[in-house]
Amino acid sequence: MDPGDSAILTHLRRGALEHCVLALLDGEPMYGLDIARRLGEDEVLLAGEGTLYPLLSRLRKQGLVDTSWVESPSGPPRRYYELTPTGEVALATFRRTWKSFRDAVDTTLEGGPR
């Protein structure tokens, strides 16, 4: 990866990562490490776990996710995160907005209409 790519990805992540977390939780509760693994698969959305847990805490404080502790057969209990109705609304709003934003960026980058 080019050094300049890292700075650009950092800025892009700031605006989109929380909504990507909400999207992962749409329809299924997940625990933190599972979320980190899914987001980190391509090494684009999540640079490291250190940024995920503060984000999950903010989402909980904003009422976008709820948490519950679930016993694990292979270790200590795990904190699972689940989308709240407010989180569902926030995700739906982002999805509507993201499509037009993404399309406008793609059109501009491809030298589209002026």
Q: How many Cα neighbours within 13 Å face the side chain of 34?
A: 11
Report pLDDT digits (tens) over 61-87: 999 999 999 998 888 999 999 999 999
Hey, what domains does the chain have and what are their CATH numbers? 3-109 (1.10.10.10)
Q: Which long-range contacts (CB under 8 A, 24 or more apart) does 10-14 make?
A: 10/47, 13/45, 13/46, 13/47
Report pLDDT digits (tens) over 48-63: 778 899 999 999 999 9
Calpha distance 91→16 (Å, rounded) = 11
Predicted local confidence at residue 10, as pLDDT: 78
Predicted local confidence at residue 43, as pLDDT: 79
Backbone angles phi, psi at 29, to 5 degrees: -65, 150
Chain centroid to CA 75 = 26
Predicted local confidence at residue 109, as pLDDT: 92
* Model confidence, pTM: 0.85
Calpha distance 4→81 (Å, rounded) = 34
Q: Is the pLDDT of residue 113 over 80?
A: no
Taking all residues of the chain, what is their mean pLDDT, rounded to a whole number? 89
